[in-house]
């Protein structure tokens, strides 16, 4: 099970996530987000993670030009671009792995899109909101569940949707962009235990 902690804005939270077993860390480069991180700050955190080369660094982008995504990816040492906008597959950045995020709206869980992304991330209707995991269609690609996950519901989400990975952010915070270490540790423990 790939477990990602998103909304990382500081080195301490990044290290705590890694120590808890996270496989990926998410950095939000959408300026309107309360979890926004400047590329140079993400680069500083990434540089300090060089001793953990297996940890994926994921950049979250919304409707950005592919060239800009690639520039930030190089600057911040990203492994993956997670696209949350209305990008068509023709506008995916080339030369970096892509995860395509799709928001679940009005209780409708969309079918897996036909796109060249490495994985599809299904996100809740709004930050911190979950959706009907039992309605997630089965498909051959890699599925990541996000939206409203925490230690109390991640096992149920995994059992119902059988994803390749899970991603959590807002329900693990003490304030936007600041993780609650206990909540994060409990989420990581529950997510990893659900697959053992």
Catalytic residue annotation: 6, 123
Where do runs of H (alpha helix) occur along 104-180?
154-161
For residue 44, CA distances in Å to 27, 38, 60 come to 12, 10, 17
Nearest CA-CA partner of 130 in 85, 160, 100, 164: 160
Residues of the chain by 3-state class (helix, strand, coil), percent to 5: 30, 25, 45
């Amino acid at each position: 099970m790939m477990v990602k902690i998103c909304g990382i804005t500081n080195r301490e939270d990044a290290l705590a996530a890694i120590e808890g077993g996270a496989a990926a860390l998410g950095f939000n480069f959408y300026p309107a987000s309360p979890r926004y991180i400047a590329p140079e700050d993400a680069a500083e955190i990434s540089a300090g993670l060089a001793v953990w080369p297996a940890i994926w660094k994921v950049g979250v982008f919304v409707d950005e030009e592919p060239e800009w995504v690639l520039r930030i990816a190089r600057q911040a040492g990203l492994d993956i671009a997670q696209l949350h906008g209305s990008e068509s597959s023709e506008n995916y950045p080339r030369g970096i792995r892509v995860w395509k995020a799709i928001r679940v709206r009005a209780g409708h869980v969309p079918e897996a899109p036909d796109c060249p992304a490495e994985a599809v991330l299904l996100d809740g209707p709004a930050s911190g909101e979950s959706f009907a995991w039992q309605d997630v269609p089965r498909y051959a690609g890699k599925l990541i569940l996000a939206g409203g996950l925490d230690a109390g519901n991640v096992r149920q989400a995994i059992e119902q949707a059988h994803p390749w990975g899970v991603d959590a952010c807002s329900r693990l915070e003490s304030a936007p962009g600041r993780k609650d270490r206990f909540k994060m540790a409990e989420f990581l423990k529950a997510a990893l235990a659900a697959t053992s």
